[in-house]
Structure 1
Amino acid sequence: MTHHHSTRLTPATLATLPATVVRPAYDLGATRIGIVHIGVGAFHRAHQAAYVDDLLVDDPQWAISGVSLRNPDVRDALQPQDGLYTLALLGERPQLRVIGAIRELLCAREQRAAVLVRLANPEVRLVTLTITEKGYCLSGDDLDLAHPEIVRDLASPEAPAGAIGYLVAGLLRRWRMGVAPYTVLSCDNLPDNGRRLRRVVLQYAEHVDARLARWIEAEVAFPRSMVDSITPATDDALRDSVAQALSCMDAWPVQRETYAQWVVEDLFCNGRPAFERVGVTMSDDIAGYDRAKLQLLNAPHSALAYLGSLLQIETVAEAMTEPVLAGFVERLMREAIAPNVAAPRGFDAQRYIDAILARFQNPAVRHRLSQIAWDGSQKLPVRLLGTIGDALAAGRPIGWLCLPVAGWIQFVRRQAGEGVALVDPLDQVLSQVGRACTGDAMGDVDAFLGVDAVFGDLTKQARFVDALRHAYAELGDGSPAAVSQALASAA
C-alpha cells in the first residue's frame, strides 16, 4: 500500500524526523560547492555522496553540484527537497540516513549555461563522474572520433552535450580565465579508469586547441579509482517504507548494502578533501585493489552462481545458508585464492574475506545467482582462470579452483540440454558444445577446452586439463545430490 504524506522531506522537516533517522550533522546553508558530479544516478547518491556527507561535518567547502546530462528526473524529484534524500542501508533492519551533500541539481540539456558557469567557478576543485563505460566514448583505449556525440561536440566545443565535451569545455573556460584546473576523478568501474579518461580528454582537447591540450597534459590530474557497493534499484516498496518511517514523502530515496569500498589514487592538482578521514582508502596501487576484488570477490561470486544454480538456489544469501556450499566457498577464498593474490601494500586479505562473507550472507540484499551467471565466457578468464594460471606457475594446488570452472561447464550443459539460451556473447558456440555433451568427463571437458576464446593457453597445461576433468567427473550428472556430494568431499 502507498502512504500519501502531504509533507515532503525538506530542510524544514528535518527537525520532525524520528530520532532513529540519521540526518546531516552540519549546517546545510554554510556549505559551499567544491565538487561537480556528472551522472547523478542512484549509485553516486548511495556511495560517493554519502562519503562527502561525512566530510562536510568538518569541511564545508566540498558540497556537490549534481549534473544529469540528459534526464531531468533526479533534478525534478530532489529540487523541491532542496537536494535532500534518504539513503537506506540494508542490514538485518534497514538504517535510514538523510544525505545533504548535494546542494545543487542541474540538467545539462536544459541548463547548459549554468553547468558551464559552475565548472568554471574557482571554488570547484574536483569533478567526479559516474557515466558508465558508454559515456567515455572509447574505441579500444582511444577516443572514438566517429561517435555521434563526439562529432557533435567537436563541431561546437563551447556548447557541448556529452560528458567528455563538458569536461573539456569547463577546462577551456578556466584556462582562458587563468583559473587553476579541477581534478577529474572517474568513479566508474572501468579498469585503469583515470588513465583512460585522461587519454580521451587529451585527444578531444587536441581537436579543440592544441595549446589547451598541452595545458591539460601539464596541469590536470586524473586519479584512478575503484568503487564497490551493491545498490539495488529504488522501487515502490522502498518509497513506501521510507515514507512510513519518516512520516513524510521522499520523491527519490536510494538504497545500498551496508558495505561500501572506495579506493582513490592520491593524485590531485588543486587540493583535495581529507577523504581518508571518512573511510576512503588512498592508495597508489588501484590495480592491486582491482585484482584483489576480481579474485577474492568476483571469483567466489561466480563459484556461488554456477554451483548454487546446480543446487537450485536462487540468491547469494540463500546460497550462504547451505553449509556445504558456504563452507566450500570460504575455503576456496582463504586457502586456494588468497595465496595467489598479489595484494597492494597494507591490504589484509583475510579481513577483506571476512567482510565479503558478511556481504554474501546479508539477507536484505537479493542478489540473484542467475544474473551473476551471465556472460560466463567473459568473466571466467579474468575471475578464475588467471588465478589458476598463477597457481600453476607457482606450483600451488588447483583442484578447488577447478571446481567452479567445472560447475560452469555443467551449468552450460544443463541450460543447453533444457533448450534455455545463455545470456552470453558466445551463446551459440557454447550451447552447441553443451548439447553434444554425453557425461563423459574426458570428452565433455575437451570439447569445452576447444573454445579458445575462454581457455586460451591453459589448454596446453596438462596439470590443468587433468584437474578440470577430475573436477567435472566429481560433479557427476550435475544434479543437486551429486554437486552436494562433490562439495562435501572437497573438504
Structure 2
Amino acid sequence: MLSVDLLPEGTVLPKYDRSALHKRIVHFGFGAFHRSHQAVCTDILAAEQHSDWGYCECEINPANTGELIKALRQQDLLYSVTEKADSGLKTRVVGVIKEALYRHGDGIEKIIDAMCQPDVAIVSATVTEKGYCYQPATGELNLDNPAIKHDLANPEQPDSLPGIILAAIKRRRALGLPPFSVMSCDNMPENGRVTRNVVIQLAEQQDQALADYIRSHITFPSTMVDRIVPAMTPEAFEELSGKLGCSDPVGVECEPFFQWVIEDNFVSGRPAWEKAGAELVADVLPFEEMKLRMLNGSHSLLAYLGYLAGYEHISDCMDDPYYLKAARSLMLDEQAPTLSTKNVDLVAYADSLIARYQNRAIKHRTYQIATDGTQKLPQRWLDSIRWHLARGSDFTLLALGVASWMRFVGGVDEQGKTIVINDPLHEQLAQLVNSSAEGDERVAALLSLRAVFGDDLPDNSLFRERVSHYYQKLLTAGAKETVRQVIG
C-alpha cells in the first residue's frame, strides 16, 4: 500500500487542502492513461492554482472486478505517477480524486446518481475506442452492439457508456439541474463528434424530445491527448515498489512528455487546464489528425511488424535501423502530406516522436499497441489511404501496415506460436480467418469487414493488390526481411 512517509525525497506530494475539492468531474475509465494524464494536469492546478476541481472516478467495464478502485480506496484515494526517462525518475502523488465507484461493487444506479450531483459540470471518458459502441468506418452508433441492444430494451438500467450518459442527462433534465459537458479523451478523430453522435442517436431511439434537448444544451468538446503510458505488469509493479520504497497497486509509469489539446466548448465551466500545460483551442481536428496519423499510425506499424518480428517493445524496434527508417518514412512521406495542420514543423515533430520511441526507460509493449485493431485502423491508416488513392500518390507503408495487421490477426506468429487476439470483433475475425485459405483469400475475407474498411476500400483494385502483395511478402520473407526490402 502507498505510504507517503516512505516515498523518496523529491516526490511531489498533494500539500493543498483536499477537503476543499468539489466533485465537479465524473470520469469513466480509471486506466493508466487517465491516471498519468488528465488527473495529473488537474492535480497540478490544485497544487499551483488553488483549483477546487475534483474527480469522481467510475469504472463501468463489465469485465472489470474493481480491484484498482478498491486498492485506491484503501490508500485514501491517492496514487503515484512516475515519469521515466533515460536520465532518471520523477514521482508525483495525485490527490484530486474525491470518490471512486465501480459497477460490480456500487452499481450503475449509484454511478448515475453521482453524475446527477449539482456540482458536476463535466463528464469525461478514457474507455478506448470500443467503449463508444460506434462504427469505426462511419462514426455512427452501432445498433447491433450487444450493450446498445440491452440499453434500448432497458433504458433505466443502462449497460453502455452512451446509455449511462444518456440516463444521467435525462435525470438531470427532469430534476431541473444545469447541463454538463461530455468530453472524450480517447484516440478517435473528432472524438467529441463521435461521442455526440452515439449519445444523440441512442436518445433518438428512445425520446426525440430528449435528443433535441441534448442538441441544444449539451456540449461535446473534442480533445487530443498524448503521453506514452505502458500497461503496468507484475514486473513493472515490483520494480516500481523498489524505487518508491513501498508498494502502490494503483501506481503508473509514463514518459515525461505531456500534451493535451482541448476544444474550448464547455457549457457549465471548466478548470483552467491551460495554466497546467494544456492548450485550449477553437478546433482540435488538425492536432488530432497529426497525432493519430503520425504518432499512433507509426506506433501501430511498429506494433504489428515488431510483434511479428519478435520485438517485445517499441524501443526494441528502434534498435533495428530499418524499422526506425520505416516509422519516420511513414510519418513524413505518407502521413504528413494528408494533414491540414498549419504552422507546425512536421519534420521536427517526427524527429521528436522517434526520440520518444527510443526512450528505453519506457517499456511500451508492441502487443499492447496491437490490441483493438479494428477500432484503430480507420483513423490511423485507412483515411490516409483514401487520400492517396484519390490523388494517385504512394501508400506503400500504409498498405504494408494493413497487411501486417492481417498477418497478426491470423493468430499465429512467425515462430508458429498462438497470438491471443484482443479485439471487440475477435469472434468475427476468427470466423473469417478459419473460413479462408492462407493468401489472397485471407486478405479478401478480412477486407469484407465493412465496419472497418467501409464500402469503398474493399472494392478498390489497387488497394486490394497492394495489401495482397505485402501480405504474401510477410508470409514468405517474414516481417524483418520485408521491412528491409521495402525500406532498403
- Which TM class, normalised by the smaller chain length? 0.7 to 0.9
**Count of residues in correspondence between the two structures:** 463
CA distance in 2: counterparts of 1:24 and 1:165, whole angstroms: 35
CA distance in 2: counterparts of 1:196 and 1:381, whole angstroms: 13
Q: How does 1:53-132 map to 2 (within 5 A)?
A: 53-57=43-47, 58-69=49-60, 71-92=65-86, 93-108=88-103, 110=106, 114-132=110-128
- What residue identity is the alignment partner of 1:459? S
Q: Aligned-pair distance for 1:369? A: 4.1
Question: Are the counterparts in 2 of residues 153 and 162 from structure 1 also a CA contact under 8 Å?
Answer: no
Q: Report the equivalent of 1:265.
A: 263
Question: Are the counterparts in 2 of residues 340 and 387 from structure 1 also a CA contact under 8 Å?
Answer: no
Q: Report the equivalent of 1:432.
A: 438
CA distance in 2: counterparts of 1:385 and 1:209, whole angstroms: 35
Question: Are the counterparts in 2 of residues 340 and 390 from structure 1 also a CA contact under 8 Å?
Answer: no
One of 354, 365, 374 as aligned partner of 2:362: 365
Question: Are the counterparts in 2 of residues 416 and 431 from structure 1 also a CA contact under 8 Å?
Answer: no
Q: Report the equivalent of 1:3.
A: none
Question: Are the counterparts in 1 of residues 126 and 185 from structure 2 also a CA contact under 8 Å?
Answer: yes
Percent identical: 33
Q: 1:253 to 1:367 in 2, by over 3 A?
A: closer
One of 455, 458, 461 as aligned partner of 1:459: 461
Deviates more, 1:47-56 or 1:272-281: 272-281
Q: Report the equivalent of 1:142.
A: 141
CA distance in 1: counterparts of 2:445 and 2:162, whole angstroms: 41
SS at match of 1:142: coil
- What residue identity is the alignment partner of 2:177? V
CA distance in 1: counterparts of 2:461 and 2:201, whole angstroms: 40
Highest relative contact order (Cα 8 Å, sep 6+), 1 or 2? 2
- What residue identity is the alignment partner of 1:98? V
Q: Any idea what the Cα deviations from partners look like across 1:202-236, whole Å, max 9, x if unmatched?
A: 34445665544433221111122333434333333
Q: 1:323 to 1:143 in 2, by over 3 A?
A: closer
Question: Are the counterparts in 2 of residues 292 and 341 from structure 1 also a CA contact under 8 Å?
Answer: no
Q: Aligned-pair distance for 1:63? A: 0.9
Q: Aligned-pair distance for 1:84? A: 0.4
Q: 1:351 to 1:270 in 2, by over 3 A?
A: farther
Question: Are the counterparts in 1 of residues 8 and 244 from structure 2 also a CA contact under 8 Å?
Answer: yes
Q: Aligned-pair distance for 1:126? A: 0.7
Q: Report the equivalent of 1:5.
A: none
CA distance in 1: counterparts of 2:102 and 2:445, whole angstroms: 50
Question: Are the counterparts in 1 of residues 304 and 405 from structure 2 also a CA contact under 8 Å?
Answer: yes
Q: 1:457 to 1:285 in 2, by over 3 A?
A: farther
Q: 1:383 to 1:480 in 2, by over 3 A?
A: closer
Q: Any idea what the Cα deviations from partners look like across 1:94-115, whole Å, max 9, x if unmatched?
A: 4322111212122355266654
CA distance in 2: counterparts of 1:451 and 1:124, whole angstroms: 44
Q: 1:369 to 1:163 in 2, by over 3 A?
A: closer
Q: 1:198 to 1:238 in 2, by over 3 A?
A: same
Q: Aligned-pair distance for 1:270? A: 0.8
Q: 1:67 to 1:482 in 2, by over 3 A?
A: closer
Please state if 1:322 is matched with 2:320. yes
Question: Are the counterparts in 1 of residues 151 and 163 from structure 2 also a CA contact under 8 Å?
Answer: no
- What residue identity is the alignment partner of 1:141? E
- What residue identity is the alignment partner of 1:104? E
RMSD: 4.3
Please state if 1:183 is matched with 2:173. no
Q: Any idea what the Cα deviations from partners look like across 1:431-488, whole Å, max 9, x if unmatched?
A: 5217x9xxxxxxxxxx968986576455348xx969997x899999626895586367
Deviates more, 1:357-366 or 1:232-241: 232-241
Q: Aligned-pair distance for 1:357? A: 0.7
Mind listing any 5+ residue stretches in structure 2 that lack a counterpart?
none
Question: Are the counterparts in 2 of residues 302 and 373 from structure 1 also a CA contact under 8 Å?
Answer: yes
CA distance in 1: counterparts of 2:119 and 2:483, whole angstroms: 60
